[in-house]
Structure 1
Amino acid sequence: MDHDDLISCPGVLALECAPGTHPSRVLLERDEIEVLAGFIAADLAGLLPDLTETRLAVAGALFDAAQLLRPQFPAYATLDELAARLPRDRGGIVAFGARDGRMPAQPLTPDPALAGSPMLYLPWTLQAPQSIGKELGEAMEVELIGRGEAGTRTADFLMRTLDMQLEHARYLSRHDLMALTCVQYEHANLAPLWNVLEAALLSPASREDTVSARGLPMRYADGAVQIASPLTQLRERASDADDNVHTLAGWVFELRQFAAVLQAHAVPMQLDGNADDASTRFLDIHAPADPALPPPALYTHRAPGLGVIAVSVAQTDGARMHVLANALLLGGRLDDHLAALAARFDADAAPHELERVHLDADRMLAPPPAQRLH
């Protein structure tokens, strides 16, 4: 049967680790995943309609949910592609595991940056003829969420092979995984972010507009999540200085969450379309350097509980302060950001450290008057 005639019905084996425990490794060798795939096939046969015309493809790797939920679903696309290369006479189960610690394709390799989650997911898909694919997909949505507990042999094999302790092991469709992730983000006060993430996953050519929990306009369009710059938003506010400082710190806290989540899902984030060369740094440029003033210097702005949230690049002769740019720090190492800004603006990488966030009369990040003599 031609691969183009098949419908892929993707799912996961969801594994909840016991508190404080993790598997000894996240990859299964080829012989190990072949055994596990047989157990999975037996479990699914007891949960779903007749599967004799389907082919089960399983990847021997444990993922964080975010890596499985990336635009175009690369892990599943790779699993389908690898399965399609094998002749149908290979049987109704195909499994892809590691050899010498390497999976057969990069998209099937868990991202080490996402390690440590208490919930891990082993991806699989059922490839079915179009004549039964829709019915099978609908059955997965109904049956797995309701009674998809993995069999004892399956759970025991995983615990013994990967030296892990499991609280639960159950089957979910990929749609179920998305719904579960949505609920988790809602509980973390990130529901608006999920709205744009869902658009990136399910309708990448679409446009989705929303507002963050703290009031920042957000949009998914052209393959990226675009967020209004908090520095621009701040300059448009008519509030007192303390309220503006508090608001900016809240926005940076929110954007740090957004940057981490979107990076995990491999969705670019842009602030007013002006992302700097690092995804964890946003640069707001105000003016070119003034040759009549001393060389630029860096000034760090610190917020309680968040550390340094911004860096101002400015020139001063003691009487006049000329701000070249402000950078919001949304993640990464402070020293790396300082080095990059110093190189870009030909400034000393050793910053003047401000103990709090300072805004001038125009609600722009700027060193306070006392710093102008330093």
Structure 2
Amino acid sequence: MEAQTLLALPVVLALELVEGEVPPRLSLDRDEAAELVELIAADLHGLVPQVNQARLALAGALFDQVELLRPGFPVWATLDELARRVPRGHLENVVAFGSHGGHMPALPLEPSPQFSGGPMRLLPLSLLAPEALAGDLSEQLEVQLVGRGEAGALTADWLMRTLGIRLEHVRYLSRNDLLALTCVQYEHVNLAALWSLLEAALLTPYRDESAVTARGLALHYANGKVFAQSPTQWLAGQPHESRDDHAPRRHALAGILFELRQYAALLDAHQLPLRLQPGTDRGGEAGAGYLLETLATIESGYDESDYGSPTLFAHEAPGLGVVAITVAQRGAGGSARALAHGYPLQSQALGPLLALLADRYGIAAEPQALGRIVLDEHGALGAPATALH
């Protein structure tokens, strides 16, 4: 048990790699981590001497920023928990956690190879400071790391020799610095709405937040999840200038679905679940890499001559492949009646989505390829009536 309350001040050591460089491994072993934390302690003491009154903890693992910026900050939370277990004064009040037998001491401290290709790798640090010191130390870190946060030459050289990579820059950042950097990066690529939702999930998870993407899709954060406006609802709100030329609407819908895929990939990386915004006229559900909205039930007596069996249709867009799956049935007068639309947001999700729909509607998991996005006479996502039977 701690004799006094220790508050955690999160920091990272950011490694900016020379273009084309890839670390051959994502973790340091125990001995390497112990060597590195001593170098880091010397660097930080030179910037803010008060750090010698705090406990410095290092996770000897190389993370991408999406792995660190997740609700609850699980990497730092785990590092803090492990560091608090070490008796005060042990190892001169610095402690490092490295890999043993190829594994870090806790699962949240294991970086994923999925995110190993980025240009920057981050080593998480935490300073556990007495409550009376924490406020002033935090302020000093914010000021000094912004202006003088470059790592010492010994630290940078050690990292390059040990990891066998070339580095452009090695510098210390507070977690607030990392948040600000991520904000700028997302805004630079027209993903400001994503940052608004992520910031809420990270810093004020108890508050709702709404945002609109660059292309106009409404998003809402609540209760740990992000809810997206249905692409078909978005399409219904767009001007329908010509009933004869649907090309502009098809192009606009393809753009929305491309943007939705971008958001889905990044939200998944930050471990924020994505769902469809619930509506009174449709049901929404989500699976691994896809979203699905149900619009109507199968018409009773569909197996009689007036109705056909439900059929799967694959909408396609140039450069994107299959962007939507429509389940349709012949309706009154032979027109197509959409029962559901599914949106594969990852390439590997198409198969499971088709299998789910085939099982649900009792049909083969073999969609008819449309070669384009097909809209009905009202400009809504639909299916060709002539293909129904």
| TM bin (shorter chain) | over 0.9
Say if 2:45 and 2:52, in contact at 8 Å, map to a contact too: no
Say if 1:62 and 1:110, in contact at 8 Å, map to a contact too: yes
Query: Which amino acid in 2 is paired with 1:329?
Result: P
Say if 1:286 and 1:323, in contact at 8 Å, map to a contact too: yes
From 265, 270, 284, give the equivalent of 1:265. Answer: 270
Q: Which moved more, 1:119-128 or 1:340-349?
A: 340-349
Cα separation, partners in 2 of 1:105 and 1:372, compared to 1, 3 Å: same
**2:152 and 2:89 mapped to 1: Cα distance?**
27
Structure 1, unpaired ranges of 5+: none
Q: Which moved more, 1:314-323 or 1:159-168?
A: 314-323
Say if 2:330 and 2:385, in contact at 8 Å, map to a contact too: no
**1:332 and 1:49 mapped to 2: Cα distance?**
51
**1:212 and 1:59 mapped to 2: Cα distance?**
36
Q: Return the offset for 1:209.
A: 1.8
Q: Return the offset for 1:148.
A: 0.9
Aligned to 1:367: 383
Query: Which amino acid in 1 is paired with 2:180?
Result: A
Computed over aligned residues only, the root mean square deviation of the Cα atoms, in angstroms, reads: 1.8
**1:119 and 1:209 mapped to 2: Cα distance?**
30
**Cα deviation digits, residues 176-215 of structure 1 (max 9, x gap):** 0010000100111001110111000000001112211111
Aligned to 1:178: 179
**Cα deviation digits, residues 8-49 of structure 1 (max 9, x gap):** 111100011111111100011111100011111111111113
Is 1:238 the equivalent of 2:247? no
From 243, 261, 286, give the equivalent of 1:256. Answer: 261
**Cα deviation digits, residues 287-344 of structure 1 (max 9, x gap):** 2223323432211111122111101112349934332211122223233332232223
Aligned to 1:213: 214
1:179-198 matched pairs, under 5 angstroms: 179-198=180-199
Is 1:36 the equivalent of 2:36? yes
Query: Which amino acid in 2 is paired with 1:18?
Result: V
Percent of pairs identical after alignment?
49
**1:185 and 1:267 mapped to 2: Cα distance?**
16
Query: Which amino acid in 2 is paired with 1:58?
Result: L
Is 1:46 the equivalent of 2:46? yes
Say if 1:6 and 1:129, in contact at 8 Å, map to a contact too: yes
**2:122 and 2:259 mapped to 1: Cα distance?**
27
**2:229 and 2:352 mapped to 1: Cα distance?**
25
Say if 1:55 and 1:126, in contact at 8 Å, map to a contact too: yes
Aligned to 1:149: 150
Say if 1:275 and 1:281, in contact at 8 Å, map to a contact too: no
**1:233 and 1:109 mapped to 2: Cα distance?**
39
**1:47 and 1:144 mapped to 2: Cα distance?**
8
Partner of 2:89: helix, strand, or coil? helix
**1:54 and 1:253 mapped to 2: Cα distance?**
47
**Cα deviation digits, residues 70-113 of structure 1 (max 9, x gap):** 11101001101001111103131010111111111111111232
Is 1:278 the equivalent of 2:292? no
**1:4 and 1:359 mapped to 2: Cα distance?**
66
1:308-323 matched pairs, under 5 angstroms: 308-316=322-330, 319-323=334-338
- The number of residues matched between the two structures is 373
Structure 1 stretches of 4+ with a deviation exceeding 6 A read none
Aligned to 1:306: 320
Query: Which amino acid in 2 is paired with 1:297?
Result: T
Is 1:25 the equivalent of 2:40? no
**Cα deviation digits, residues 32-68 of structure 1 (max 9, x gap):** 1000111111111111132221110000100010110
Aligned to 1:331: 346
* TM-score normalised according to structure 2 size: 0.91
Aligned to 1:125: 126
Q: Which moved more, 1:276-285 or 1:197-206?
A: 276-285
Aligned to 1:158: 159
Query: Which amino acid in 1 is paired with 2:129?
Result: A
**Cα deviation digits, residues 337-358 of structure 1 (max 9, x gap):** 3223222322211211011101
**1:320 and 1:242 mapped to 2: Cα distance?**
21
Q: Which moved more, 1:53-62 or 1:214-223?
A: 214-223
Say if 2:275 and 2:286, in contact at 8 Å, map to a contact too: no
Is 1:341 the equivalent of 2:364? no
Structure 2, unpaired ranges of 5+: none
Query: Which amino acid in 2 is paired with 1:37?
Result: V
**2:251 and 2:3 mapped to 1: Cα distance?**
56
Partner of 2:118: helix, strand, or coil? coil
**1:133 and 1:263 mapped to 2: Cα distance?**
33
Query: Which amino acid in 2 is paired with 1:310?
Result: A
Partner of 1:50: helix, strand, or coil? helix
**1:156 and 1:105 mapped to 2: Cα distance?**
28
Query: Which amino acid in 2 is paired with 1:12?
Result: V
Query: Which amino acid in 1 is paired with 2:323?
Result: I
Aligned to 1:62: 62
Partner of 2:219: helix, strand, or coil? strand
